[in-house]
Structure 1
Amino acid sequence: MIVLLLAYYLAQSAYTEAGPIRASIELRDVAACDSQNSQRNLANIVWSCLFTIFLCTWAAVHPNVHFRAEKRNQRWTEEWLWDPVHEILTYKLPLFLWALLVPEYILAWAVRQYIQAGVVSKEVPGWTRTHGYFMIMGGFHLFRLPAEASSIPMPLKSSKPSKFVFPSGRHSRKDEIPVCPLKFEDVPVDILEIITPTEIELKDRSKNDFLTKVIVLLQTMWFFIQCITRGAQRLPLTELEVVALAYATLNLSIYYFWWEKPRNIECPVRVYKTSTASHEESGEKVYEWDTNRAFRWMEKTVMYISGEQDCFVIISKETSIPMFWSGRLKASRVGEAGLGPSILGIAFGAIHCIAWSSKFPSHSEAVLWRISCIAMITLPFITTIACIIELAHQRTEKVTTQVVNIIFCIGSVFLILSAWLYMVGRIATLVIAFTTLRSLPPAAYTTVCWTTLIPHI
């Protein structure tokens, strides 16, 4: 970020502080640029922005393992048509919409997984953060063997008998019964050392290689630099470019926290128990949602915004790991995990203010855009204040528990109201970004003249 700001400063100073000699050189360069094709069309603008937004909302997201049990005697229409469509509509499309409408939440999710993966990786000898990611993203799934299948208990270093087994006989894997995903607390460390794939094997399972990540980052950085250079040369940015620029800014942070996380793994490692063995979920006690429908809705809103919804999930009752599962962070890490994404969320909304004084086709669109910018800044701002108070409460005794509870109640009301305003503002900016394309200023079609930015005599 500092390098980009420095590039902006140097590019701007080249236009504001140059003398007559520099001005004459610029006239020569402008004439050279004009002699070439220095105009871009609407299709170029839209395509570049949509491609960047797609990379930031689809290609950059690293989902958890969405396990689906195999079906026996499945028709080809179900296997090749209905199941893929159902997967897209019920999982991939909702995740894409979350990334499109609330990209800050995706960043917060990535930060929580980054922290939790680091904690888990330290508990098992030889594990890396990639192993920690694989554990919390649902990489291990419990299966029961058929009643007639033979097995051997897995060895433990302690004298305690193991409930986990190795299959030792012949049977069809389609007869194995899926039970539930496994948390780190559910599997002894001794067992994890035996069944865990190596880091190279995990990367082989991933559908995203190093080259793909580099291409996404290069496209994002290229779009970022183009926007900064247009500002340096006093060329206007369209509202759609401003929106794409905001996504690109968050995308760099998301990729940083998910760089070591495997992407698009669909088949977890099978961990076996016999058909008669019981499974009791380990770990801390799970909270329950409020029985009142209105209060439950309010509670869910606050918990999802703060990223504490995992405390209400019973993994042993799930057929697949929840979409935004990142494990239960310690209470002391919740404020830390939310502070950075909240600050970047403020920056995400503030970037939209670049178009605050742009020439909109109508006055109503200009007013709605400005109100939407304020709405998108308000929610992460309130969340930032809440994280700071939580950190102060955890690290000092200046903020008492009673004061924190009062602030939490008041802040929850503002969070719920600002969350809805945020969603309305987010949708409004996306719509206006396209409606303003009908009447762009002539300078918006002018391309950047790169020759003025290249050192020359």
Structure 2
Amino acid sequence: MFSDVTYKIRFTLLLVPFSTFCHGWTTFDPQCTAPNESTNFVASAEVRGTMDIVWSCLSVLILCVWSIHHFCVPNFVKNESSSQGNWMKKALLANIKKLNWSLLAILAPEYIFAKALAEKLAAHYSYKQFQEHRQHGWSDWTITHAYFANMRGFVMRFNTRAVPMSLIPSKPDKLALSRQWPQQHSDVTYFEQDVNGSIEIERRQCREICGDPCQNRDGLASEKGSTIKTEHYLDAHKTWQGYWALSASQMLYACQQGIIAGPPAITVEELKDYSKSDIFVKVMAIVQITWLVVQILARVTQNLAVTLLEITVLAFAAVMIATYLLLLGKPQDVHVATLVDARGQLNREQVIGLAARSPQSTLFVHGFWLHGVAVRTMSDNVFPYSPSFSIKLPWMTRTHHLDTVIMGMGFGGAIFGSVHCAAWNAEFPTSVERLLWRISCIVLIALPPVSVFTYDLVRYIFEARFKTNSKAKHYLKPIGYSTAPVYLLARLYLLVETFRSLAYLSPSAFQAVSWSSIVPHL
């Protein structure tokens, strides 16, 4: 009686949420006798338990999503404290940040893939641009330099006369967002902001930040009594020093305009030395992925059941491997930026030109104000500028440009869904669940490309008819609201079914591979 109660208590925590769906909860405890006397070698039992399957899969998944991230260099702060407490706090925050992005990689691996694709194309685009200026001696710029710039690796130190402010990025207000409209099909990613409009914005900021003492400085009249001329208005502010992390596109513009003397004199070897990439973790992830693939192939050859959890983890691994390949050459875990000094004071026109080459927009943006100009900054959730894919089909009257990020998410989602099709004829608890699995796989494969095609078709129609696609977003919102829930529902079903099926595995799923019958054939 005591033994029966013990078996019922030993529920696997992972399967408890799904135990209510079982007709009868049963367990099996394999018994293996030990050798009667000392022996030199004992072969492993050709059986595996449920938790063996779970932990072997989770180890592959955790290693993949933990080692895939290449974060930006932390924001440069002058005279930052280096105390032990501050170091521990930064280390804790860094691990929390890595954990959050690892969870995002599990929930949306196609987003991580799209980000890596955009970064790769942006680095190649910057490399080609610098190679076109070899006559200036800029041929030492490499793809690694472009990666480093787009991850906030190069920080320009400059002097300016503007409203005193902090250049630490924060969430921009509505006015800042409204002044950063995309510029299509150009090396400039945003419309250049109006000079007169930026002057008025800086006047307003001066009233809010500086107050009356700034308005009356040096005997200047207050705006209530007379109009302050632009040159006098700028003279009202003292010269102060700021720091600005330049992206690869902004670095090229700064070199062309003479804002800085040229690209930083730093070699690829030095950049790689800055990188603190954990090679051991990456190698272990690759070894674990390889071992998972070998096990799946071996089970197929011996007609042993492959669990849905193994197929799902293999799908994650496929997307992560593709992401690994895209990020080759990008430094990882760099914590110190390289300073580049500006040649003179930074004026309003130069700020506008640099701001026009800001990174691309996402739902989560960071920026700051300088000379009344809204500046978008690089961050881990903001994509660097990358050229779009250009196509011209026979029925098109003009060349159309496909958005890199949208294309990357569609392609990454298709990879993720395609691997799940390996379980097309797998064993399921019911035939309905098998049908839903197949439908979900089709949704994951077909919906991203269809959504990308619809998105670009609507943009093309508006560009051809109205010479702009700014109105297209009103028609694209209903499409997004209708397709996103379907895609998320399909992903959710695959996740739930993956763990639910662990309670209904066939006996052959618990049988281990007989390597003795495979190794001689190899």
Q: Above 0.5 in TM-score?
A: yes
Amino acid at match of 2:269: I
Q: Highest CA radius of gyration, 1 or 2?
A: 2
Name the counterpart of 2:379: 322
Partner of residue 113 from structure 1, selected from 96, 110, 119: 119
Change (3 A) 1:177 1:237: farther
Is 1:58 the counterpart of 2:66 in the alignment?
yes
Q: 1:257 to 1:378 in 2, by over 3 A?
A: same
1:339 Cα offset (Å) = 4.0
Which stretch shows the higher mean deviation, 64-73 or 425-434? Answer: 64-73
For 2:340, what is the secondary structure of its paired residue?
A: strand
8 Å CA contact 1:350–1:373 kept in 2: the answer is: yes
Structure number having the greater helix percentage = 1
Matched, 1:381 2:449: yes
Q: How many aligned positions are there?
A: 371
1:418 Cα deviation after fit: 2.0
Partners of 1:142 and 1:92 lie apart in 2 by 27
C-alpha distance in 1 between matches for 2:301 and 2:403: 36
- The runs of 5 or more residues in structure 1 that have no matched partner are 1-34, 148-175, 288-303
- Aligned residue number for residue 503 of structure 2: 438
Matching residue's letter, 2:113: L
Tell me the residue number matched to 1:141. 155
Uncovered stretches (5+) of structure 2, i.e. residues with no partner: 1-42, 131-137, 162-239, 391-400
Q: Residue 180 of structure 1: SS of its match in structure 2?
A: strand
Following TM superposition, by how much is the alpha carbon of 1:389 offset from its aligned partner in structure 2, in angstroms? 5.3
Between the aligned residues of both structures, percent identity stands at 26
Question: Which of 397, 402, 416 is the equivalent residue of 1:335?
Answer: 402
**Equivalence map 1:301-316=2 (5 Å):** 309=362, 314=367
| 1:125 equivalenced with 2:150 (yes/no) | no
Contact 1:237 1:444 in 2 (8 A): yes
Cα–Cα, structure 1 residues 263 and 76, in superposed 2: closer, same or farther, change >3 Å?
Answer: closer
**CA distance in 1 between partners of 2:364 and 2:498 (Å):** 38
1:69-218 aligned at under 5 Å gives the runs 69=77, 77=85, 79-81=87-89, 83-89=90-96, 91-122=97-128, 123=130, 124-143=138-157, 179-183=243-247, 184-186=249-251, 187-188=254-255, 191=260, 193=262, 195-208=264-277, 212-218=281-287
Counterpart residue number, 1:358: 426
Structure 1 pair 372–131 and aligned structure 2 pair: CA distance change class (3 A): same
- Offset from partner CA, 1:40-80 (integer Å, 9 cap, x none): 22232112211211222221222232336377668755542
- Per the alignment, do residues 146 and 408 of structure 1 end up closer, same or farther by CA in structure 2, a change over 3 Å counting? closer
* Alignment pair present for 1:347 and 2:400: no
Q: Give the structure-2-normalised TM-score.
A: 0.59
- Rate the CA distance shift 1:43–1:327 in 2: closer, same or farther, 3 A: same
AA matched with 1:138: R
- What CA deviation, in whole Å up to 9, does each residue of 1:380-414 have, x standing for no partner? 222443588599x6xxx9x9556996998666533
Once superposed, what is the RMSD of the aligned Cα atoms? 4.3
**Aligned amino acid, residue 335 of structure 1:** L
C-alpha distance after superposition, 1:264-305 (max 9, x if no partner):
212221234599755715357489xxxxxxxxxxxxxxxx9x
User: 1:22: which partner in 2?
Assistant: none
Alpha carbons of structure 1 residues 273 and 108: separation in structure 2 relative to 1, 3 Å: same
Which digits, 9 at most, give the CA deviation of each residue in 1:92-143, with x for residues without a partner?
Answer: 2332222111111211111111111011123141122111111112111234
Deviations 1:172-193 (A, max 9, x none): xxxx976432123253167475
